[in-house]
Amino acid sequence: MSRTLLFGHLHPDLACAVALGFVHYPGLSVTADAILLVDPQQQIRQTQSDWLGDDPLDLVTREYLSARREAMQQVIRPGAAPWAVSAARKVKEAANARAIAAKQRGYELLQERGILSHASRAGLSVLQHA
């Protein structure tokens, strides 16, 4: 399946590998909403919104990023009511479980497509999957 390159040169599967935390790509910052190319001073050079489509890898990447955002938004404040702490923990745990499942499925898709070995051959840092 042919996919449109991001910024004219970046394969979307590689961007997903970066978003899922499997590849370190200097100068690339990824969120569920946008992908940014930045220079060494962290100044934004290019932005592409709505970069995730309906490809299966895009879907699990979106789920992973959304679940991580949801987990990070759960703040347990000192002195909070026990019911509020419990509710926040439940939401955080459920979001983390979804993120872990999405990341695992993303890893499987990246392996099937050969993206991680390609990134390694290209000289990018590929992080080991636990």
| pLDDT tens readout for residues 8-47 | 899 999 999 999 999 999 999 999 999 999 988 888 999 9
**Angle ∠(64,32,96) on CA atoms, nearest 5:** 25
Q: Where are the domains of the chain?
A: 12-126
pTM of the predicted model as reported, rounded to 2 decimal places: 0.88
Task: Name which residue leads in pLDDT, 2 or 84.
Answer: 84
